[in-house]
Chains A and B, each alone.
Chain A
Amino acid sequence: MSIESPRAAAWKKLPLKERYALLTRDLDWEPSYIDREQLYPFTRYEGIKVHDWDGWQDPFRLTVDAYCKYQAEKDRRLYAVLDGFAQGQGHLTLSDASYLNSIKLFIQGVTPLEYAAHRHFAFLARHLEGPGPRFAALCQSIDELRHTQTQIHTISNYNKYYSGFHSWSKMHDRVWYLAIPKSFFDDAMSAGPFEFLIAISFSFEYLLTNLLFVPFMSGASFNGDTPTMSFGFSAQSDESRHMTLGLEAIKFLLEQDEDNVPIIQDWVDKWFWRAYRLSGLVAAMMDYMLPKPVMSWKEAFELYFEDQMLGGLFPDLDFYGIRPPRHVDDAIAEKEHLSHQVYKILHNFSSVAAFTTKTPDHVHLDWLSEQYPGTFDIYYRPTWEKHQRIEAGGGRMFVRGLPQQCQVCQLAISFTEQDDRRKISFRRSEFRGETFHTCSDGCKWIFDREPEKYVQAWLPVHQILKGDCGGPAIPDVLAWYGIQTGDNGEYNGSPDEQFWRAWHDPSLRHGE
């Protein structure tokens, strides 16, 4: 028999709501020896007006002790799966070694964004004025750090057997195609706290999460990658909390003052297009890099964006005076083209990437023709068949040169005009006597809105030509990128492909 102190007994009886209030909001205090403006210097200059920070609703009512308990339990389950997979040589049961190219893209491109999100939500957890949003940002900051760690642990197992997994953190800072996700997040982190909330919590985690993050997890599940899929499950409840934060953030800001509406609209316009351009990499991955595809980019875009967001979310936001994002019609018009155009970039330049690519075979081309019946055979199939002919003759076409990049999204300028899908859409702006090139009306609009910001873009191609990336020749640049022989180039004949075949065909093993 145990004796409880009267305090502990009273504590247990507290209803959840009160307990939550005591452990979070009631810990806040009013500053007495400095004013609020000094304590929170970043919450005014963006022009957002907040009259009542207590108007922020927390649907989850999480406290630190409950949060840690849930997360520890999820980690235990995830690490049990990771151990089992590693001990049972689970990597041999993947659909194909080429599947791992999508996971290379993930750890190089996405995991460092999780870490960046961890850092910036920690900043918001200090600098937002209300205790409610501060606590939500704190939880998300810890989530993002946990995601970084669990992704590294999940994917590190593949580093023992496959190329391209070894220097992802350095690569994220340096390699050309990783400048696409990096510049996206740097753009958000160098904005004010409210713009960051609309950029990351709303546009990235709510509006486009099913097109940016989830496809990697679905791809894992279809291709036998149990660890990555389990990581996805382990992150799922966090992600739903983040989505709720994104929606709560936009509604809270819109409800606080009518003057906030045009500012938020502007950010929704900008960050929809930024996130959409970033999703081009995911589109390429979905249509070209999965040996067992989940669904086409077009189908995913229609289901998750057109039906769920344009059909479901935006009619609700209309109540606050928010309309669908500017340039959304350009994205819709591009849904039959995006994945093909972006994968073409990767295929042209995987000679200088930390993953490999291959020309789709006939079965794959037939699948693409089926998924894109009105366009694929006209615009894209003939080019892939030309690649097949080149390869049948023993060649492999990589571009000997460096691509022209968009000043805003940093993708190669490879997209085409709506009224002529064979014609590259070049856009340009003049600022302080200098020419700046963009890939689309969306990116040009973003550039023209804040040219002072985007003239500072670290464009990988220009940096190489300045001599700032290890030296003048491609081998110097690859060494500076941290790319080793076998990480890059063509999949067929690569070390990954050869090992995979040997592991699955004992007659190919030497010395046995």
Chain B
Amino acid sequence: MSVKALYDYEFPSMDRAKLFGEDLLVYVHWEGNPIFCSAVCFRVPKTMPFGEFVTSFVVPWAESDPDFDHEAMKHWRIFDELLDVADNKSLADLGIGHKALLTFAG
């Protein structure tokens, strides 16, 4: 089913990948930690290595919880699939696309 309208109803998506240029929107969810109400949303360069993404984006956010332990981060997943992370591989190389949802356990 689609929108009923008096004219051709055709509009571009507000947050399409193109508008973010060389960057991506990426969501990160700390599974099983209810002190965070939800996953977080970052804008990051596609070419950023995963290790740098974790230290410069994910860790400062996760440190909002004083019990956060960087060493304990494990079991990375992208949507429902396992994500075989490597610190030196870029987000694009790991197959992380626009508006992907990453999950880890801590």
Contact = CB atoms under 8 A, between A and B. Distances in A.
Q: Identify the 7 closest CB pairs spanning chains A and B, nearest first.
A: A401-B61, A401-B40, A412-B38, A455-B13, A465-B43, A404-B39, A344-B37
Interface of B: 1-6, 9-17, 19-20, 25, 27, 29, 31-32, 34-43, 60-61, 63-66, 79, 97-101
A370 B27 CA distance: 36
A399 B34 CA distance: 12
A341 B11 contact: no
Contacts of B3: 450, 452-453
Given A452-B3, A459-B14, A466-B19, A399 B36 contact: yes
Mostly, the A contact residues are mixed
A81 interface: no
A510 B14 CA distance: 52
Contacts of A380: 34
A512 B31 CA distance: 54
Interface string A40-69: 011001110000000000000000000000
A45 B5 contact: yes
A357 to B, nearest CB: 12
Nearest to B1: A449
A461 B12 CA distance: 18
Contacts, number: 129
Interface residues of A, number: 56
A471 interface: no
Interface string A419-439: 000111010100110111100
A456 B14 contact: yes
Nearest to B63: A400
Contacts of A449: 1
A254 interface: no
A413 B29 CA distance: 10
B10 A383 contact: no
Interface of A: 41-42, 45-47, 192, 341, 344-345, 347-349, 379-380, 383, 386-387, 390, 395, 397-405, 412-414, 422-424, 426, 428, 431-432, 434-437, 449-453, 455-459, 461-462, 465-466
A45 B39 contact: no
B22 to A, nearest CB: 14
A361 to B, nearest CB: 18
Given A47-B4, A462-B41, A399 B64 contact: yes
Nearest to A343: B37
A177 to B, nearest CB: 12
Nearest to A403: B38
B48 to A, nearest CB: 15
Contact of A404 (B1, B32, B41): B41
Interface centre among A399, A402, A431 (most CB of B within 10 A): A399
A452 B5 CA distance: 11
Contacts of B61: 399-401
B85 to A, nearest CB: 20
Nearest to B23: A465
